[in-house]
Amino acid sequence: VSEPNECPFLIEVHRLREGEIDATRAGEVRQHMARCSSCRAEYESWDRLSELLARGDPASPLVPERQRRMKDKLLQDGAASLDEAGDAPRRQSAPRWRMPVRIALGLAPLAAALLLLLHLGPGVRPGEPRSPRVAAHSGAALPEAQHEALPRQRQIAVAPELPLPRVQTNPKVSPRAVKRLAIPKDRPPAALTRRREDAKTGRSNRQNPGHPSSRLRVFASSRSTGNPFTAQGKRRRRALRPYRIADASRSVPAPRDRSQGSAFRRTRAAAPAGKRMVASHEAGLAAPRPIERLVIQVDGPPSVRPVEASTATHITVIATGDPAAPGAQLTVVKSQREETLP
Amino acid sequence: MRGRQRVAEPDEKLMQRTSRGDLAAFGELFDRHQPAVYAFLSRFLGNATWAEDVVQEVFWRVWRYRHSFDSAQRFAAWLYGIARHTALTEARRSHHQELSLDQLPAGERETGATNEGGAWSDDGLVEDLTLREQVRLALQKLPPDQRSCLILREYEQRSYQEIAAILECTPENARVLAFRARRTLRTLLEDHFQAEGSCV
């Protein structure tokens, strides 16, 4: 530390000033300082510097009122984050192999949107009045007290009765603008509001691709069917038909929920009692096809690419096949809490 | 009747409660450490308003990353590590520009520089304010590690072991950082020092 032409005791003087040498050594250094004006000046300069730093301390305490406001804001944000995330204890850091799981968790609200569409049938928008049949079922699906406890972001119904086809998500396929299910501006799903809330606080969570407010890109399929936006894909897509709820006489299995680890939950979704899910174009046919393909697309303003949660305006769900066919099952991966909605 | 004396819960215990989502424990930690962290950031950043923003961000990060706290480590070291990283990040990201009086618009300059009320007539006050500004500027000229080390050592009287844990270095490195920082500061504030003698 010391320079070549400096006294070799300089380091010891520094240690003495810091109180880091024993009494014997301190005595020796003091004896040296009595003879060495340079070391003495060095020692005194440290004292002088400490005095100057104390007198010229640039810090001043925060005004108690501002301190209180800051604390209130933090506690408020903390409580909101607890409500939002369910606040299950998490690991310190997720290993890389869990990244796809995180992505799947982030897509949970969209999967719930899919269920909503399956229940509502094609062409029904959240802002429009629903058919009495669906509305009656939605009201019966939950106890009254549970309805009251739900925050308004929970809009998507999951009625656990009839098993639906299994869904696999593949976030690699880019979205395409197909407007079918409009998200009302005043009632965006939870995944969309979260991004907005974060924008309010100025905090970004883009670094977590599994976060619900990360970019919404969904392609879900029960099989590998290739790119749905190529010519071949478009032909296949023309053949796709959304599902609707139809009356059915056959019995359906009882609802069953089960937990899969601490981080996510799988929920079986089904149609209301006495009804089953059938493909609209195959309703009434003798041999329904099992579920083949399921596509969820999210789109925002044309100028914004890629679509982010804060800019998403539409969700389109396209499905084909028969979710009521033997062996067909729809599995919804959800993060930490249920989003059961009227 | 003698009241039972309440023993303060250690920071680490409070942090464990915080990691379980206990907002009251988090509030207690905030009350305990906010003044010191704010003072550290004020000295480090040289700007009280900026420090106020950053200290809020620091405690938000404490809450946000509460699950990553290792109860085997000291909470203060973890907290100051977050504060230091946040301050460095903010300093890199932000473009806080300070204007000298000469750069102010004419109207503001006159308003800011006049002494109509006689508030600046006290020589001691002027001297203290001048020294404060000199110290603030001198601290800003130090490299970040030296600045952090000197602030923690000189203003907060932390041991070199604690400083080393915060700065993620060895205690000896922290000692060297403090030594160099003092030397630089002594040069920057040389007007306040008398001429040194020579070794006999």
pLDDT at residue B76 tops 80: yes
Distance of alpha carbon A160 from the chain centroid? 23
pLDDT at A2 exceeding the cut of 90? no
Q: B135 near B147, Cβ under 8 Å?
A: no
What is the maximum span of chain A, computed from C-alpha positions, in angstroms? 110
Q: Is A142 on the interface with B (CB under 8 A)?
A: no
Contacts of B128 in chain A (CB under 8 A): 55-56
| pLDDT confidence tier of residue B35, bands split at 50, 70 and 90 | very high
d(CA A143, CA A161): 16
B1–chain A nearest CA distance, Å:
34
Tokens 């810090």 -> residue = A59
- Contact of A60 with chain B, judged by CB distance below 8 Å, is answered with yes
Q: Which of helix, strand or coil describes residue A189?
A: coil
Which two three-digit tokens encode residue A235? Answer: 């032909």
Q: What is the pLDDT of residue A300?
A: 52
ipTM above 0.85, yes or no: no
For residue A157, with 0-12 CB atoms within 10 Å meaning exposed, 13-18 middle and 19 or more buried, which class applies? buried
Tokens of A144: 């009254």
Kind plus residue range of the DSSP H or E element containing B78: helix B75-93
Per-residue pLDDT, A6? 73
Residues A327, B2: Cα–Cα separation, whole Å: 73
Q: Does B200 contact A37 at a Cβ distance shorter than 8 Å?
A: yes
Centre a 10 Å sphere on the Cβ of residue B137 and count the other Cβ atoms it contains.
14
- A220: alpha, beta or left, given left = phi > 0 and alpha = psi -120 to 50? beta
Taking the Cβ of residue A200 and every Cβ of chain B, the question of whether any pair is shorter than 8 Å is answered with no
The identity of residue A90, as a single letter, is R
DSSP-assigned letters across all residues of A86-107: TT----SS--GGGHHHHHHHHT
Q: Which amino acid is at A283?
A: A
Q: What is the pLDDT of residue B128?
A: 78
- For the cut 90, the answer to whether the pLDDT of residue B149 exceeds it is yes
Contact A45 B193 (CB under 8 A): yes
Helix or strand run (H / E) with residue B192? none
Closest CA to A130 of A240, A244, A299: A244
Q: Report the Cα A85 to chain-centroid distance in Å.
A: 8
CB nearest to B46's CB, from A7, A18, A58 = A58
What would the two tokens of residue B126 be? 């002027």
The first and second tokens of residue B81, run together, are 């590590």
Residue of B nearest to A68 (CA): B31
Do A74 and B193 make contact, defined as CB atoms within 8 angstroms? no
The CA distances from residue A230 to A181, A233, B37, in Å, are 22, 5, 57
**pLDDT range class, residue A282, cuts 50, 70, 90:** very low
CB B35 within 8 A of CB A61: yes
**pLDDT category of residue A7 using cuts at 50, 70 and 90:** confident
Please, which residues 267-286 of chain A have a Cβ atom closer than 8 Å to chain B?
A: none
Angle in degrees, CA A220, A171, A233, rounded to 5: 55
For A68-111, what is each residue's pLDDT tens digit? Answer: 999 999 998 888 888 776 544 444 444 444 555 566 666 777 77
Res A317: pLDDT? 56
